[in-house]
Structure 1
Amino acid sequence: MPDVPMFQLDGVGVDYPTPAGLVTAVHDAAFTVPHRELTVLAGPSGSGKSTLLRVLGLVDRPSRGSVCFDGTETTNLGHRSRRLLRRDHLGVVFQQPLDNLLEYLSVEDNLHAAARSARRACDAAAILARLGLAHTADWRLTALSGGQQQRLAFGCELARGSAVILADEPTSQLDEASADLVLETLADLVADEFTVVVASHDDRLIALGSHVVRLREGRVAA
């Protein structure tokens, strides 16, 4: 069904309980995410973009509204069905690189572990070469810079073969040179027909997006 978007959100709201009462992080969000493009959820800190990314990644359920993934309504799916969708189709790269990786494994072994988690095999050497990390295969993660760790996190999603990759502020912890390589990696992923959704306030990353959803105070801007 080529006319069906990868994601379609209608009236999505997200509430969080706090000691002071219920706080609404996202108000009635409605937008689509097309296939095989880079979509950027753009906005300042506190605008709701990371919350929406977790909703898209089927990590959090919305408090209300509808979230369709490739034509399947996910909001009322059971835990097992959501977990299988995440495992087989969705890859998530978190803001802190080490949150995406297994610190007790080597660089190369992280790629193999990611592939096994999706019941796949991978060419770890080719992935590392593609990311400019060919010389690090036997390194421990603590020997990598933060930028290298983030590149490896994207490499793990390549190893898993996820159709959709979601990334939360992937350049925010990086120096300019490392951020440049992440931008190149994102462009390469789209060229290879991955669907990529990124939450970011990095102007260069926003400019790279073919589809930009702008958020302010938990609302999608007109």
Structure 2
Amino acid sequence: MADAIFRLDRIGVDYPTPAGTVTGLHDVSIDVPRTGITVFAGPSGSGKSTLLRVLGLFERPARGVLWFDGVDTGALRHSGRRALRREHLGLVFQNPAENLLDYLNVGDNLRAAAQSARRSCAPEEILARLGLGGTGDWHVSALSGGQQQRLAFGCAMARGSSVILADEPTSQLDEASADLVLDTLRSLAGQEFAVLVASHDDRLIDLGTRVARLRDGRLEGVEQR
């Protein structure tokens, strides 16, 4: 794929256990486009979260090659991988509280995210794009779970991330809060972001412009929409 932001060639991940080595990913090869929503779908234990950690450069694969925008990430030292994460990748965790600094207000969370990537941002502009206009001075705890997840995506935007990775972003939310996250993903899909999501939420999977299905650490197929 000429417009791929990630290219994976036979990626394998192993974990040592008392009973022996367990393989988390088996020779996964896939190209990830640089725009739209790519969903890694599958049941618990299918390897989708492991794959997201590999793509987020938090985990080195045991086998295979991972390219990010033409760069062989396996050839990079820890500092080089950290620089790529800081400058290009934004990660949104399952638990909204894990994504934010609860001692800062909403606007300062965005400013801190931008500063971590040596950037500046206009918090009210980002909040307006997220449907959170007027909340800049609010304490994070005043936001609902769905609003907190929206803010987490906003922090990735404030850092200037071209790729946003989200691990089960609706799994700990009620339906109304999950709707807010789905609306945010719809908005991001129309902008210049590569959004990569690991999920078994059918509504989120339906949003995917590309759906890669995994089972038992193996890529079963890819659906282009």
Instruction: Bin the TM-score by the shorter chain.
Output: over 0.9
In structure 2, what residue type is equivalent to 1:69? F
Give the structure 2 partner of residue 146 of structure 1: 145
Distance 2:78 2:22 in 1: 25
Q: TM-score, normalised by structure 2?
A: 0.94
1-structure distance, mates of 2:109, 2:153: 11
- Give the deviation of 1:132 after TM superposition: 2.5
Q: Name stretches of at least 5 consecutive residues in structure 2 with no aligned partner.
A: none
Equivalent position SS for 1:188: helix
Q: Distance in 1 between matches of 2:51 and 2:8?
A: 10
Match of 1:181 in 2: 180
Q: Which SS does the other structure have where 1:197 is aligned?
A: strand
Per-residue deviation, residues 121-160 of structure 1 (Å, max 9, x unmatched): 1111122222222243222222322222111101101111
Deviation by residue 1:3-46 (Cα, 9 ceiling, x = unmatched) = 15111111111111122221111111111101112100000111
- Structure 2 CA distance for aligned equivalents of residues 179 and 82 of structure 1: 32
Amino acid at match of 2:106: V
Identity %: 67
Q: Tell me if structure 2 keeps the 8 A contact 1:9–1:31.
A: yes
Give CA deviations for 1:166-210 in whole Å, capped at 9, x if unaligned: 100111111222212211211211211111100011111111111
Number of the residue aligned with 1:84: 83
Contact 1:4 1:71 in 2 (8 A): no
1:63 counterpart residue number: 62
Letter in 1 for 2:175: E
Post-superposition CA distance 1:76-100 (Å, at most 9, x none)? 3100100111111111111111211
User: Match of 1:180, as an amino acid?
Assistant: D
CA distance in 1, matches of 2:131, 2:71: 37
The reply on whether 1:160 has 2:148 as its aligned counterpart is no
1:204 equivalent in alignment to 2:203 = yes
Q: 2:175 & 2:41 partners in 1: Cα distance?
A: 19
Q: Counterparts in 2 of 1:1-222, with a 5 A limit?
A: 3-222=2-221
SS at match of 1:85: helix
Q: SS at 2:65's partner residue?
A: strand
**Contact kept? 2:146, 2:179, Cα under 8 Å:** no
Larger displacement relative to structure 2 (178-187 or 204-213): 178-187
| Partner Cα separation in structure 2 for residue 63 and residue 129 of structure 1 | 43
Return the TM-score normalized by structure 1: 0.95
- The CA RMSD over aligned residues, in Å, is 1.4
Flag structure 1 segments of 5+ consecutive residues without an equivalent.
none
